[in-house]
Chain A
C-alpha cells in the first residue's frame, strides 16, 4: 500500500498548506470571508507550515511508498517556500488594495503554488516532479494575469502560459524516455541503474532485481493482479540478459531523456537559452506575483533540479555536468550583460534573476557535496534579497505602471531614507559585496566549481559578478546622488514594511552567520 499513517506526520508542512488552501476557498465561497480574513488565514497557514518544516528538519524518511523523500533537504526548501510565501502575502496587501484588486483568489493561488513547490522539493519520483511543476505553474500563470483589465498583465500570463506549456512538453517527453530506458520513474531505482546506462553497459541482473517496485505485492491484491503487473516482466528482461548493443541504445535514450528533462527545468529556472520569457513575464505581472515567481518558483525549480541531479543521476555523469556548466556560463554572461542596458527596474531584476540562475546552476554542474550545499544556501539568500527588492518596487509602482524606470528612483534617499537604505542593502547583496548573504552564496558555489575542476566556470562567474556590480550600484547611485522627485503615493502599508524588514534582517543575518 502506498500510504501509512506516518506519511501525514512526515509531510505535515505540505498537508498544512493543503488544509489552509481548502479552508480559504471555503471561506471565500461562504462569502462570510472578506479578503482580510483570507489574508490572515493564509499568512497563519504559511507560518504554521514553516514552523512544522523547521520541526521536521531532523527526521529522514520516505513516504507514500517511495514517492516522497522527507528530511532536511525537503524541509529546508519548505521553509524557503513558506518564508517567501508569507512575505509575498505581506507585500501584496497594500499593493492589491491600491490597484483595487484585493481579492482572496490571490492568496488561494499563492497557497496552491506553494503546495506544488513543496511537492517538487520533496519528490522522489519523476511523476511527482511533473505534478508539482504543473500545480505550481497553473497557479503562477493565473497570478501573472491577475490584473485582468491590464493589457500588460494579460500579455504576461499568455506568454508565460504558452512557453511554459511548451517547456512542460519537453519535460514530459524526457520523463517518458527516462522511464522507457530505466524502467521506472522512481529516483532510487533510476539512481541504481544510471551508472550502467551512462556507460552503455548491459544492466546487471542484480540491479534490475533490486530496483523492482514491490508495492504491488505489498498491496495485498489478489494474485491475478500481481501477475498482471509489470515488475515480473522486467525481471524477465533482466534475466534474459540483454545483448550489449541493446543496452547501449537504452543508455542513449536515457541521456536523450535526461537532456529533455534538463531543457524543461532550465526553462522553469529561466536559464540562458530558455530565458526569453522571463523579462516580459516579470515586467507585466503584478509586482508581488513577480517577486513570488522570481524567488519561490525559482527555488522550487532548483529544488527539483538538485534532486534530479544528485538523487536520480548521481555524481557519475560527466556529460550532464558539462552540459549544465555551459548553460550556467551562458546564463551568467547573457543575464548580466543584457541587464546593463535595462532602464526598467523590473526588467533589470528579471535579467539579474537569469544571471543568478546561472550562478546556482554552476553549483549543480560541480556535482559535489559543496555544490549541493552551496545551491541550497544560495537559493535562500537569493530569495531574501530579491523579494526585498521587489517589495520596494511594489511600494513605488503607480497605477499607470509608470515609475518603474530606474531614473524614477532619483532622490529617493532624501524623501524616504529608510526605504532607500533597504534597497541599497539588497542591491549590495545582489552584487555580492561582503559580508552580505549574496556574497557567501556566490563564494560557496564558485568554491564548489573549483573543487570539481571547473575553474573556468568560477572565473566566468567572478568576471560576470563584476559586470553585475555596475548595474546594481547604478540604482544606489541614482537614489543617493541624483536630484529627483521619487515619491510614494499614499501611505506605505504596514505589512509591506514588515516584509522588507524581515528580508533585510535575513540578508544581513545569513551573511554574518552563514
Chain B
C-alpha cells in the first residue's frame, strides 16, 4: 500500500536534493574574484534593482485563462487514454463528442484572434 510509494518518494527527495546540491556547489566551488568594476552598476544603465512586481497586461490574463481551459481538457484525456482498450468504440465516440464541442470553442478563439498577441 503506502510502501509502494517509497520509490517515488526517494525520487522526489533525490531530485530536490540534486537541485539544491548543484546550486550550492556552484556557489562554493566556482571561482569568485570580485572587483570594483564588476560590482558596480553599468555606468549609463538603469538601476538594476527595483520591484519585481511589474504590472502585467490583460493579454497575459486571457492567455492564462485559455490555457487552463485546455489544460483541463487534457486532464480528461489522460484517464481516457489509459482505459481506451477497455472502453472500445463507445469510448471513442464519447471522447470524439467531447473534443468536437471544445473544437468549436477553439475555432471561436482562433477566429476571434485571441491567439494573436496584439
Are A1 and B104 in contact, CB atoms less than 8 angstroms apart?
Answer: no
Name the interface residues of B59-118: CB closer than 8 Å to any CB of A.
86, 90, 101, 104-105, 107-108, 110-112
Q: Which residues of B contact A1 (CB under 8 A)?
A: 90
Say which residue of A3, A26, A31 sits within 8 Å of B104 (CB atoms).
A26
Are A3 and B90 in contact, CB atoms less than 8 angstroms apart?
Answer: yes
16 contacting pairs across A/B (C-beta < 8 A): A1-B90, A3-B90, A22-B101, A22-B104, A25-B104, A25-B105, A25-B107, A25-B108, A26-B108, A29-B108, A29-B111, A29-B112, A31-B111, A221-B86, A222-B86, A225-B86
Proximity string of chain B (47-58) to chain A, C-beta cutoff 8 Å, 1 when within and 0 when not:
000000000000
Known: A25-B107, A221-B86. 12 other contacts (CB 8 A): A1-B90, A3-B90, A22-B101, A26-B104, A26-B107, A26-B108, A28-B111, A29-B104, A29-B111, A31-B111, A222-B86, A225-B86
Q: Which residues of B contact A221 (CB under 8 A)?
A: 86
Q: Which residues of A contact B101 (CB under 8 A)?
A: 22
Name the interface residues of A95-143: CB closer than 8 Å to any CB of B.
none
Identify the closest chain B residue to A22 (Cβ): B104
CA–CA, A222 and B85, complex, Å: 11
Minimum CB–CB distance for A257 against chain B, Å: 26
Q: Indicate if A5 sits at the interface (CB-CB under 8 A).
A: no
CA–CA, A221 and B86, complex, Å: 7
Task: Report the contact-size class of chain A (Cβ under 8 Å from the partner).
Answer: 10 to 19
CA–CA, A31 and B110, complex, Å: 12
Minimum CB–CB distance for A141 against chain B, Å: 13
CA–CA, A31 and B113, complex, Å: 12
CA–CA, A28 and B112, complex, Å: 9
Q: Indicate if A30 sits at the interface (CB-CB under 8 A).
A: yes
Task: Report the contact-size class of chain B (Cβ under 8 Å from the partner).
Answer: 10 to 19
Minimum CB–CB distance for B22 against chain A, Å: 42
Most chain A C-beta atoms within 10 Å of own C-beta, residue among B101, B108, B110: B108
Q: Which residues of A contact B104 (CB under 8 A)?
A: 22, 25-26, 29
Q: Which residues of B contact A31 (CB under 8 A)?
A: 111
CA–CA, A30 and B108, complex, Å: 8
Minimum CB–CB distance for A158 against chain B, Å: 14
CA–CA, A123 and B104, complex, Å: 26
Are B110 and A29 in contact, CB atoms less than 8 angstroms apart?
Answer: yes
Identify the closest chain A residue to B105 (Cβ): A25
Minimum CB–CB distance for B80 against chain A, Å: 15
Q: Which residues of A contact B90 (CB under 8 A)?
A: 1, 3
Name the interface residues of A1-42: CB closer than 8 Å to any CB of B.
1, 3, 22, 25-26, 28-31
Q: Which residues of A contact B107 (CB under 8 A)?
A: 25-26, 29
Q: Which residues of A contact B108 (CB under 8 A)?
A: 25-26, 28-29
CA–CA, A13 and B101, complex, Å: 18
CA–CA, A29 and B108, complex, Å: 5
Are B86 and A30 in contact, CB atoms less than 8 angstroms apart?
Answer: no
CA–CA, A244 and B7, complex, Å: 43
CA–CA, A221 and B91, complex, Å: 12
Minimum CB–CB distance for B43 against chain A, Å: 46
Q: Which residues of B contact A29 (CB under 8 A)?
A: 104, 107-108, 110-112
Minimum CB–CB distance for A29 against chain B, Å: 4
Minimum CB–CB distance for B106 against chain A, Å: 9
Proximity string of chain A (381-412) to chain B, C-beta cutoff 8 Å, 1 when within and 0 when not:
00000000000000000000000000000000
Q: Which residues of B contact A26 (CB under 8 A)?
A: 104, 107-108
5 A-B pairs with least C-beta separation: A29-B111, A29-B108, A29-B107, A22-B104, A25-B108
Q: Which residues of A contact B86 (CB under 8 A)?
A: 221-222, 225
Minimum CB–CB distance for A232 against chain B, Å: 18
Q: Which residues of A contact B110 (CB under 8 A)?
A: 29
Proximity string of chain A (152-195) to chain B, C-beta cutoff 8 Å, 1 when within and 0 when not:
00000000000000000000000000000000000000000000
CA–CA, A28 and B111, complex, Å: 9
Identify the closest chain A residue to B109 (Cβ): A29
Minimum CB–CB distance for A105 against chain B, Å: 9
Minimum CB–CB distance for A508 against chain B, Å: 41
Identify the closest chain A residue to B107 (Cβ): A29
Identify the closest chain B residue to A18 (Cβ): B101
Identify the closest chain B residue to A23 (Cβ): B104
CA–CA, A225 and B86, complex, Å: 9
Most chain B C-beta atoms within 10 Å of own C-beta, residue among A29, A30, A225: A29
Q: Which residues of B contact A25 (CB under 8 A)?
A: 104-105, 107-108
